[in-house]
Structure 1
Amino acid sequence: MSWLDNVRKKIPFIAKRDAPENLWHKCPGCAQMIFVKEYEENLSVCPRCNHHGRIGPDERFDQLFDNGVYTPLPTPEVREDPLKFRDTKKYVDRIKTARTATGEQDALINARGLIEGFRAVVGVQDFAFMGGSMGLAVGAAFVAGVEAAIADKCPYIIFTAAGGARMQEGILSLMQMPKTTVAIQKLHDAGLPYIVVMTDPTTGGVTASYAMLGDVQLAEPGALIGFAGQRVIEQTIREKLPEGFQRAEYLLDHGMLDMVVVRADLRRELARLIDYLAPQKKAA
């Protein structure tokens, strides 16, 4: 036995302390490591660079509704695999995987509640569910949200986050564009406002339909917003696009948005808009 083995034997063994694996969050914007607790307390916004992280419906509803109290709307049932689509995996298997990962039925979830005392129905698209892609289920949920807002005589507010239409549903996914447009017109016929908050990213067929039809268009800072991708546009026009192209601030400067609002101010700003566009007696 060597002298090194003797030394090792005399060193007391100290068990490795258990530490949670999710103690830190690496910001995609500045690459800094942030305590998860600090990050969550700051509404999933980086306290160093103000990068607004992507969040799901539950977190969004908790931040938005008074005291985090809200009632989720039932998710409409639709035909789940109308084209029997398969690429490297079956479409039905992809849906099951997304449901397991997010705990949600599909990419758009609605809830009703109060925003600073004002009634509102809010829909939130979750990019974590198959890229927030728009298919039959998203279209049906959007219409259900509008109908709930009409029944409650209050605005419908949609938080968009999507990579576009869901390719596994082919032309049926594109049919959701006119379907949601008709639903918005019904909301207007009832004299109720439709407010859009675009989050990162909002692209493709969603941008080409209900994301750009709001009475008021808001966005979170730095959100990617557009129809075609930047590389596709550059290859088409054979020109280099300007810095920050398709980001919320660029669209605001060029008249495509009304406001860019930081997450901490969204609740107050939405309440102000509801009070202006659809005055209603505050709930007791």
Structure 2
Amino acid sequence: MNWISNYVRPKIRALVQKDTPDDLWVKSPATGQMIFKKELEKNLWVCPYSGHHMRISARKRLETLFDDGDYTLVELPKTLTDPLKFKDLKRYTDRIKDANAKNEDKEAILVARGTMGGMQTVVAVFNFSYMGGSMGTAVGEGLLTAAKLAVLQEAPLLVIPASGGARMQEGILSLMQMPRSIIAVDMVKDAGLPYVVLLTDPTTGGVSASFAMLGDIAIAEPQANIGFAGKRVIEETIREKLPEGFQTAEYLLEHGMVDMVVHRHDLRETLIRVFNLLTQKGPSAEILPLKGAEEAKEEAAEKNDPAE
């Protein structure tokens, strides 16, 4: 029996079984169902059973929006790595090293340019997997760079936040990015260019308290968590139970905080249509000249002429 268990069975398993990758399946956070990863990627990381919109990477987001998935990343200004020499349970520099090791991109924001529906467009997208998409000085520089580029190219600016808020390890410097981001928004609006925000899960803290809520058009993905403080914190503060669905995209739409909630499959077409409407220079129909007072009197006289 030991010979069969220890020698024969392992040999048989080696012949009939192949190594199976660990990441073939993904568990849906909404239903708990296991979904084949390739099927999920093909469906833009939307659960095919419940419609739950899972978080996707910043680069994948850019691929789904730009024409033919083609875009050019914009190099961002360098910033101080650890301006306050901050340390909590770990050194801030160590946290950055860990985040860099886990991510292809070395900050919480990417700025890209390309075409959407043939129109030059600038997109600033947050990378939530990099320290929760937290907003530090590098993110502030990224938003200003995106705004300057949009003005230079006379292109619409699309910002896609996915963030837990300001980066506490940079202290007051992270909070200063809130007014800086508003300066970036004003630059685009003063140039008469569209500024559109796509709110994704999550959009919270200092991000939602600044540029994220200033879009000419505010679009959100289904069931995205959007707010400032967390639900539990609010309930403990006001000592009341909050309504069902509070801080979801649908709740905000119902209460006038966002303009539309759009399924991920329809986002690209919706954004292109919005940009076309906002950049349309001429009138949508032929302008007819107003008739003068004398012409109006003559027409009225002709209509009331008894000879006719």
TM-score by length of 1: 0.95
The residue aligned with 1:151 is 152
C-alpha displacement at 1:54, in angstroms? Answer: 0.7
Which residues in structure 2 correspond to 1:117-132 (within 5 Å)? 117-132=118-133
C-alpha displacement at 1:14, in angstroms? Answer: 2.8
The residue aligned with 1:250 is 251
Pick from 2, 10, 19: which aligns with 1:5? 2
Higher deviation after alignment, 205-214 or 14-23: 14-23
In 1: Cα distance, 2:63 partner to 2:231 partner: 34
Q: Do 1:56 and 1:124's aligned partners in 2 also have CA atoms closer than 8 Å?
A: no
3-state DSSP class of the match of 2:201? strand
Q: What residue identity is the alignment partner of 2:255? A: H
Q: Highest Rg: 1 or 2?
A: 2
List structure 1 runs of 4+ shifted beyond 2 angstroms.
4-14
Q: Do 1:75 and 1:105's aligned partners in 2 also have CA atoms closer than 8 Å?
A: no
C-alpha displacement at 1:6, in angstroms? Answer: 5.7
In 2: Cα distance, 1:6 partner to 1:57 partner: 54
Q: Do 1:220 and 1:262's aligned partners in 2 also have CA atoms closer than 8 Å?
A: yes
3-state DSSP class of the match of 1:13? helix
In 1: Cα distance, 2:76 partner to 2:8 partner: 64
178 and 10 in structure 1: CA distance in 2 versus 1, 3 angstrom threshold? closer
Superposed CA deviations along residues 106-132 of structure 1, whole A, max 9, x for unmatched, are 101010011111110001101100000
In 2: Cα distance, 1:196 partner to 1:38 partner: 28
The residue aligned with 1:108 is 109
Q: Do 1:69 and 1:113's aligned partners in 2 also have CA atoms closer than 8 Å?
A: yes
6 and 70 in structure 1: CA distance in 2 versus 1, 3 angstrom threshold? closer
Q: What residue identity is the alignment partner of 2:55? A: R
C-alpha displacement at 1:97, in angstroms? Answer: 1.2
The residue aligned with 1:34 is 35
5 and 152 in structure 1: CA distance in 2 versus 1, 3 angstrom threshold? same
Which residues in structure 2 correspond to 1:66-105 (within 5 Å)? 66-105=67-106
Superposed CA deviations along residues 18-52 of structure 1, whole A, max 9, x for unmatched, are 11111101011111110000000000110011111
Higher deviation after alignment, 138-147 or 14-23: 14-23
In 1: Cα distance, 2:201 partner to 2:152 partner: 30
The residue aligned with 1:56 is 57
TM-score by length of 2: 0.87
3-state DSSP class of the match of 2:12? coil
Which residues in structure 2 correspond to 1:162-241 (within 5 Å)? 162-241=163-242
3-state DSSP class of the match of 2:200? strand
Q: Does 1:14 align with 2:13?
A: yes
In 2: Cα distance, 1:245 partner to 1:214 partner: 21
Q: Do 1:109 and 1:125's aligned partners in 2 also have CA atoms closer than 8 Å?
A: yes
Gaps of 5+ in 1: none
3-state DSSP class of the match of 2:112? strand
Q: Do 1:154 and 1:278's aligned partners in 2 also have CA atoms closer than 8 Å?
A: no
Q: What residue identity is the alignment partner of 2:127? A: D
Q: What residue identity is the alignment partner of 1:245? A: F
Gaps of 5+ in 2: 282-308
262 and 5 in structure 1: CA distance in 2 versus 1, 3 angstrom threshold? same
How many correspondences in the alignment? 277
Q: Do 1:218 and 1:261's aligned partners in 2 also have CA atoms closer than 8 Å?
A: yes
Q: What residue identity is the alignment partner of 2:2? A: D
In 2: Cα distance, 1:154 partner to 1:235 partner: 44
In 1: Cα distance, 2:256 partner to 2:194 partner: 20
Superposed CA deviations along residues 159-214 of structure 1, whole A, max 9, x for unmatched, are 11110100000011000011111111111111101100010000000000000010
The residue aligned with 1:266 is 267
The residue aligned with 1:23 is 24
C-alpha displacement at 1:80, in angstroms? Answer: 1.4
- Please tell me the root mean square deviation across aligned C-alpha atoms, in Å: 1.3
